[in-house]
């Protein structure tokens, strides 16, 4: 009888182990990253942050990682994709505005005269306002989704939502699996990013911090709506990114990823927290598979932040050498 | 042998059930609520929202409940607690400002002349600015925590963080246990509420939406900080509450709890979402255990929102009759 009881006991223990224990998996959490210092430093940071016996352990509440969007999570060349939206939208709206044919900056858009268009920041702002406001948020989402379905990248002739960086998708998933909250902190429009971020990045609307327009609560025909007003409320770039993190998150992140001078203050703010922190910049070094640009680029200039990265020992992610593939579609080829 | 195998099988199934199945507990999730229509309507809503076979099922992502703070989660009489902070802080700061003795609105504060002080909204704003800005967020937290340790409620002679509503604490916990995200959406200052919300309500900083001051990122002596500027950035009341929900959360809540006309638009916005929603107002009806006030109150006026509640069939939480206890300390007595 004793041996039978032992057998019961053995079965029960075995079953308990099988059903209740997470077996550590040896599979690579970042398969699209080449083995090397960059990849290893990320894995080391996460291993330490999640090991309660390690002096660099980070409590679950504090595991916050922030990501710039344009140039960090998806391509930002030859122009920010949101500007493609602006241009397409102006052309669409021009049907109801015959006077735009002779009026700048609309004329430049309608004549595809990008050089003239980009000669004035005020013009760009005006076009953002006219295409992003004067409607409810629900209406904006509808317009945006319609556009995203059709828009293609000029170099790759693929949907813009295909132009996301596979290594960064893996990184965000890996971090979330390790209890990190992943936030986007972008100079791009919050509502614009919300169009695709949940589906493409797995980041829900409440974790998207971006440039905001003023808005008001209105009741139209008995139905409440959030109506978008023609004024920027928060332009989420440079120091404002740090301020926005304080307002939206209320804790200093432990990891921050950017790619340009607009991300410098976000990385400085992240570094200012107590304990070990991880700051990284995506360096666009691959003119074949994506684009190569840095110190002198009109879009995504990486100059001051690069110098700061070097003197602070932040991680520079070398796209060409650190990433096995750039885009998810390369995995299917 | 067959019967032994059956016995093994029985053991294994039993163990599996014991270790893997959440046994439904019969314990009351809202023990400080009297049984009745109000309590039952909350429980019914949650049961339906969490039952995937029910037509009123709400997906995990959409389970968002928003709560006003003053008068909804804690007492707001005889004056908002944040105004107690303003008054105490002005008295403290007056040591360095001898000229305040003869200068309004400081004079009124120093002479405890509350009537004169409240005669001007502009004065109140000025005092909020002088006590809440001109310092880093870290400094504000330090000042606020010191104050909270000492401040007492004038009627109950208890720490202000004792003046929270036990039934609402139970409600928020119950909702979180059922997968709801609980947010505070308050006219009070975001940073002020963050002083105690995590400890007292279990609500982390990223889920506190409140009135915001402008701020800037600065590096002082090599150390980055968020510096609070003397200008209101977002006054989170009435329609702005709905706008702020859109910006901070990006989804329409399924449950909303308020207590005054300042919460009306938040409840209307919540109601505007598809499917079943739950809107409720705390009605202060207990002059003995707390306070009784509504249509004509200077603080926490409940007038228009009450009418809307009646015509829209929103829940009115009758403090006197729906709540067994008001404050957590009553449980110890």
Cβ distance A127 to A282 under 8 Å?
no
* B185 neighbourhood in chain A, CB within 8 Å: none
* B225 neighbourhood in chain A, CB within 8 Å: 272
Distance separating alpha carbons of residues B148 and B129, to the nearest angstrom: 19
**Closest-CA residue to B284 (of B74, B80, B32):** B74
Among B11, B205, B216, select the one facing A250 at the smallest CB separation: B205
A251·B216 Cβ contact <8 A: no
Is pLDDT above 60 for A23?
no
Cβ distance B291 to B283 under 8 Å?
no
Distance separating alpha carbons of residues A116 and A98, to the nearest angstrom: 20
Residue with tokens 């009135």: B211
Distance separating alpha carbons of residues A312 and B224, to the nearest angstrom: 14
B4·A4 Cβ contact <8 A: yes
| Rg of chain B over all Cα atoms, to the nearest angstrom | 23
* Domain-embedded: residue A96: no
* Domain-embedded: residue B248: yes
Cβ distance B299 to B80 under 8 Å?
yes
Cis before B78? omega within 30: yes
B248·A248 Cβ contact <8 A: yes
pLDDT of residue B12: 62
B243: closest CA of chain A, how far (Å) = 6
Is pLDDT above 90 for B8?
no
Question: Which is more confident, A333 or B68?
Answer: B68
B239·A251 Cβ contact <8 A: no
pLDDT of residue A3: 57
* A263 neighbourhood in chain B, CB within 8 Å: none
Q: Is B229 exposed, middle or buried (0-12, 13-18, 19+ CB in 10 A)?
A: middle
* A227 neighbourhood in chain B, CB within 8 Å: none
Structural domain count, chain B: 1
B205·A249 Cβ contact <8 A: yes
Is pLDDT above 80 for B20?
no
A232-238: Cβ within 8 A, 24+ apart: A232/A125, A232/A129, A235/A187, A235/A211, A236/A185, A236/A186, A236/A187, A236/A190, A236/A209, A236/A210, A236/A211, A236/A212, A237/A187, A237/A211, A237/A262, A238/A262, A238/A264, A238/A265, A238/B217
Which residues are within 8 A (CB) of B31 and not within 5 positions of it... i.e. 6 or more apart?
A: B170, B324
**Chain A residue closest to B250 (CA)?**
A205
Interface of A with B in 45-64 (CB under 8 A): 61
Is pLDDT above 80 for A93?
yes
* A195 neighbourhood in chain B, CB within 8 Å: none
Report the residue of A21, A212, A236, A250 to disrupt the B interface, i.e. the one with the largest count of B CBs within 10 Å.
A250
* B204 neighbourhood in chain A, CB within 8 Å: 61, 250
Is pLDDT above 70 for B9?
no
Which residues are within 8 A (CB) of B274 and not within 5 positions of it... i.e. 6 or more apart?
A: none
A333 pLDDT band (50/70/90 cuts)?
confident
Is pLDDT above 80 for B17?
no
Q: What confidence tens digit (pLDDT) does each residue in A26-77 have?
A: 699 999 999 999 999 999 999 999 999 999 999 999 999 999 999 999 999 9
**Closest-CA residue to A101 (of A88, A89, A111):** A111
B224·A251 Cβ contact <8 A: no
Number of A/B CB contacts below 8 angstroms equals: 105
pLDDT of residue A5: 59
Among A19, A212, A241, select the one facing B247 at the smallest CB separation: A212
Among B15, B242, B247, select the one facing A12 at the smallest CB separation: B15
CA triple A220-A226-A231, angle to 5 deg: 115
Cis before B105? omega within 30: yes
* A208 neighbourhood in chain B, CB within 8 Å: 250
A246·B194 Cβ contact <8 A: no
Q: What is the DSSP string of A74-130?
A: B---SS-HHHHHHHHHHHHHGGG-GGGGGSTTHHHHHTT-HHHHTT-HHHHHHHHHH
A249·B61 Cβ contact <8 A: no
**Closest-CA residue to B184 (of B65, B316, B63):** B65
Cβ distance B78 to B154 under 8 Å?
yes
Distance separating alpha carbons of residues B23 and B5, to the nearest angstrom: 27
Average pLDDT, integer, range B311-319: 98
pLDDT averaged over every residue in chain A: 94
pTM to 2 decimals? 0.92
B9: closest CA of chain A, how far (Å) = 10
**Chain B residue closest to A60 (CA)?**
B204
Coil, helix or strand for B224?
strand
Q: What confidence tens digit (pLDDT) does each residue in A118-164 have?
A: 999 999 999 999 999 999 999 999 999 999 999 999 999 999 999 99
Backbone dihedral region for residue A179 (phi beyond 0: left; psi -120 to 50: alpha; all else: beta): left
B243·A226 Cβ contact <8 A: yes
Q: What confidence tens digit (pLDDT) does each residue in A176-221 have?
A: 999 999 999 999 999 999 999 999 999 999 999 999 999 999 999 9
A135: closest CA of chain B, how far (Å) = 14
pLDDT over 90, % of chain A: 91
For residue A185, give its domain range.
35-79+162-327
Q: What confidence tens digit (pLDDT) does each residue in A232-253 have?
A: 999 999 999 999 999 999 999 9
B249: closest CA of chain A, how far (Å) = 4
Q: What confidence tens digit (pLDDT) does each residue in B84-140 have?
A: 999 999 999 999 999 999 999 999 999 999 999 999 999 999 999 999 999 999 999
* Domain-embedded: residue B222: yes
Q: Is A112 exposed, middle or buried (0-12, 13-18, 19+ CB in 10 A)?
A: exposed
B199 pLDDT band (50/70/90 cuts)?
very high
Distance separating alpha carbons of residues A324 and A34, to the nearest angstrom: 6
Distance separating alpha carbons of residues A170 and A177, to the nearest angstrom: 10
Report the residue of B3, B184, B205, B247 to disrupt the A interface, i.e. the one with the largest count of A CBs within 10 Å.
B247
pLDDT over 70, % of chain B: 92
* Domain-embedded: residue A105: no
Distance separating alpha carbons of residues B153 and B167, to the nearest angstrom: 20
B331: closest CA of chain A, how far (Å) = 30
Is pLDDT above 80 for A262?
yes
Which residues are within 8 A (CB) of B241 and not within 5 positions of it... i.e. 6 or more apart?
A: A217, B185, B187, B209, B262, B263, B265, B266, B269
Identify the bridge partners of residue A64 per DSSP, sorted by sequence position. Answer: A181
Q: What is the DSSP string of B245-260?
A: HHHHT-S--SEEEE-S
Interface of A with B in 274-313 (CB under 8 A): none
* Interchain contact B223–A (C-beta under 8 A): yes
* Domain-embedded: residue A313: yes
Structure token pair of residue B203: 């609500």
Interface of A with B in 140-169 (CB under 8 A): none
Distance separating alpha carbons of residues A74 and B166, to the nearest angstrom: 47
A250·B194 Cβ contact <8 A: yes
* Interchain contact B244–A (C-beta under 8 A): no
**Closest-CA residue to A209 (of A162, A174, A257, A242):** A242
A272·B248 Cβ contact <8 A: no
CATH number of residue B59's parent domain: 3.40.50.1000
State in Å, rounded, how far the first CA of chain B is from the last one: 61
B82 pLDDT band (50/70/90 cuts)?
very high
Is pLDDT above 60 for A2?
no
Distance separating alpha carbons of residues B65 and B49, to the nearest angstrom: 12
* Domain-embedded: residue B311: yes
A251·B15 Cβ contact <8 A: no
Distance separating alpha carbons of residues B308 and B295, to the nearest angstrom: 13
B220: closest CA of chain A, how far (Å) = 12
Rounded to 5 degrees, what are φ and ψ at A282? -80, 120
* Domain-embedded: residue B138: no
* Interchain contact A21–B (C-beta under 8 A): no
Name the DSSP class of A182.
Answer: E
Report the residue of B144, B224, B231, B304 to disrupt the A interface, i.e. the one with the largest count of A CBs within 10 Å.
B224
* Domain-embedded: residue A152: no
* Interchain contact A11–B (C-beta under 8 A): yes
Q: How many CA atoms lie within 13 A of B221 on its CB side?
A: 0
């Amino acid at each position: 009888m004793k041996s039978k009881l032992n057998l019961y006991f053995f079965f029960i223990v075995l079953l308990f182990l099988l059903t209740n224990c997470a077996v550590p998996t040896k599979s690579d959490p970042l398969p699209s990253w080449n083995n090397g210092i960059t990849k290893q430093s990320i894995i080391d940071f996460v291993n330490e942050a999640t090991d309660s016996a390690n002096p660099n352990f980070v409590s679950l509440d504090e595991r916050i990682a922030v990501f710039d969007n344009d140039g960090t999570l998806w391509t930002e060349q030859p122009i920010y994709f949101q500007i493609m939206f602006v241009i397409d939208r102006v052309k669409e709206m021009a049907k109801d505005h015959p006077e735009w044919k002779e009026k700048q900056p609309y004329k430049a858009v309608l004549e595809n005269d990008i050089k003239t268009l980009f000669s004035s920041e005020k013009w760009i702002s005006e076009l953002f306002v006219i295409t992003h406001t004067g409607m409810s948020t629900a209406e904006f989402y509808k317009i945006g989704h319609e556009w995203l379905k059709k828009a293609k990248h000029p170099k790759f002739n693929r949907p813009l939502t295909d132009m996301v960086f596979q290594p960064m998708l893996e990184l965000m998933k890996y971090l979330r699996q390790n209890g990190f909250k992943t936030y986007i902190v972008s100079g791009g429009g919050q509502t614009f990013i919300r169009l695709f971020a949940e589906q493409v990045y797995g980041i829900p609307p409440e974790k998207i911090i971006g440039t905001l327009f003023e808005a008001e609560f209105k009741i139209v025909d008995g139905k409440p709506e959030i109506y978008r007003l023609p004024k920027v409320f928060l332009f989420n770039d440079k120091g404002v990114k740090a301020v926005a993190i304080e307002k939206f998150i209320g804790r200093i992140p432990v990891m921050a990823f950017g790619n340009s001078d607009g991300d410098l203050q976000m990385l400085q703010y992240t570094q200012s927290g107590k304990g070990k922190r991880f700051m990284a910049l995506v360096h666009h070094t691959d003119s074949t598979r994506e684009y190569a640009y840095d110190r002198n680029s009109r879009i995504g200039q990486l100059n001051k932040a690069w110098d700061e990265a070097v003197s602070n020992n932040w991680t520079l992610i070398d796209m060409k050498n650190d990433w096995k593939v750039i885009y998810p579609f390369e995995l299917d080829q």
